[in-house]
Amino acid sequence: MTNLVQSQSSTLTGVNNDNLMLDVKNLQLYFPITQGVFARVQGYTKAADDVSFFIRQGETVGLVGESGCGKTTVGRCIVRAYEPTGGEIIYHRADGTTVDLAKLQGDELKPYRRDIRLIFQDPYFSLNPRMTVFEIVSEVLKVNKLATPAEMKDRVVALLQRVGLRPEYMQRYPHAFSGGERQRISIARSLITSPRMVVCDEAVSALDVSIRAQILNLLEELQADFNLTYLFISHDLSVIHHICDRIVVMYVGKVVEIADATELFVNPRHPYTEALLSAVPITNPRDRQAVGRIRLEGEIADPSNPPTGCYFHPRCKYAQERCKTETPPLRNLENEHFVACHFSEELELTNVQLR
């Protein structure tokens, strides 16, 4: 049964509800930690632990944060490769009705597997080496009987051309292609169903700079052509700044800051965001001695046993007593700039000087 939900406002306050595409509310995914012969559950890795953010139609939203903070987990919940253990993923269909993807099971998910697609991190391992490019790109159409063989061929040919691959090479196997070409194949595979939204999980990280620039330009062109919405997961903040309209920052399974892309760089309000921005690699060796770069000290939080209060407090240089006991809520400072820190208003954080 499809779970029809009335269009409702985000859990985040002060959000303009126009044009919402996805509203993720208090999303949770706990992985059981098992041990011993009877696989007894010893505890849970809280990979996603109360994640709330939203994505508007046609937007590119960036998801950033420390390795292991749960970005891939969130992306996989949205495409429903994982089943969340709590929370909601409210999807706004093209006709304006909404559905909670978190609650759907099995065949109920089928229509949304076409609407929301995933591009994987690694162009080398995500393509089946025993399938031809044609088979890889058309697989989802065949499995879901979405097109006749003749239509399928036309669509694959048109799409391969669009992503800059020669259709003559359609019968070749992935090993015959370079990293950049393979990433184009992955993109074609994700776009073949005419999706509305694409989750790009480190989609350009394995590519060298010049090919990465080509793929980023391509993703932007495709967005304009097909009115696509992107959730863009990446470690590379220069890429994130280049391609995203808004940015969501996560720390140990929680969202700590959400802001417009430029706003986040020039006016960060969370101490973790400050540390993240100050670690962006320099672009010229002459800046090596630059002062004021923050190194995060202290033990990296364990998602199976997170600290009390604000999860960031053991590593935060601004932490006070209150931070050890009281969890800061994600609140709207102004104009949809959200932050989860008790002292955002008082702190003078270092920003990035944009030229």
Query: Which residues of this chain interact with ligand SF4, rule CB under 6 A?
Result: 271, 310, 312-313, 316, 318-319, 323, 328, 341-343
According to DSSP, residue 307 is labeled: P
- Residue 72 or 229: which CB sits closer to Mg ion? 72
Binder among 14, 58, 164, 179 for ligand ATP (CB under 6 A): 179
- Vertex 225, ends 94 and 150: CA angle to 5°? 85
Exactly one of 72, 190, 229, 344 binds Mg ion (CB under 5 A); which one?
72
Q: Which residues contact 77 (CB under 8 A, 6 or more apart)?
A: 27, 29, 48, 83, 84, 89, 102
285 phi/psi in degrees, rounded to 5: -60, -20
Out of 27, 49, 70, 269, the only residue in the binding site for ligand ATP (CB under 6 A) is: 70
**Segment near Mg ion (CB under 5 A); pick from 2-10, 66-74, 280-288, 346-354:** 66-74
47 binds ligand ATP (CB under 6 A): yes
> In this complex, which beta carbon is closest to other proteins, that of residue 109 or of residue 266?
266
Which residue ranges make up the site for other proteins (CB under 8 A)? Answer: 31, 64-68, 72, 121, 124-125, 178-181, 202, 205-214, 216-217, 220, 235-239, 241-242, 262, 265, 275-276, 279-288, 293, 295-296, 299-305, 352, 354-355
Exposed e or buried b per residue across 144-158, where buried means at least 16 C-beta atoms within 10 angstroms of its C-beta: eebbeeeebeebbee
DSSP assignment string, 183-243: HHHHHHHHHTT--SEEEEESTTTTS-HHHHHHHHHHHHHHHHHHT-EEEEE-S-HHHHHHH
Instruction: CB nearer to other proteins: give 123 or 195.
Output: 123
328: partner contacted, choices ligand ATP, other proteins, ligand SF4, none (Cβ within 5-8 A by kind): ligand SF4
Which lies closer to ligand ATP via its Cβ, residue 70 or residue 87? 70
Q: State the CB neighbour count (10 A cutoff) for residue 286.
A: 8
- What track of x and - describes contact with ligand ATP for positions 225 through 254 (by CB under 6 A)? ------------------------------
C-alpha distances (whole Å) from 326 to each of 254, 303, 309 are: 15, 18, 4
Among 31, 44, 169, 173, binds ligand ATP (CB under 6 A): 31
Is residue 28 at the binding interface for ligand ATP, with CB under 6 A as the rule? no
Nearer to ligand ATP, 311 or 343 (CB): 311
Q: Which amino acid is at 235?
A: H
Q: What is the DSSP letter of 170?
A: G
Based on CB atoms, which residue is closest to ligand SF4, 23 or 66?
Answer: 66
Helix (H) or strand (E) holding 133: helix 133-143
The C-alpha atoms of residue 6 and residue 99 are separated, in whole angstroms, by: 8
- At 331, is the secondary structure helix, strand, or coil? strand
Exactly one of 18, 37, 39, 67 binds ligand ATP (CB under 6 A); that residue is 67
Residue range at the interface with ligand ATP (CB under 6 A); choices 7-15, 62-70, 99-107, 271-279 = 62-70
Residue among 27 and 99 whose Cβ is closer to ligand ATP: 27
How far is C-alpha 98 from the chain's CA centre?
Answer: 21
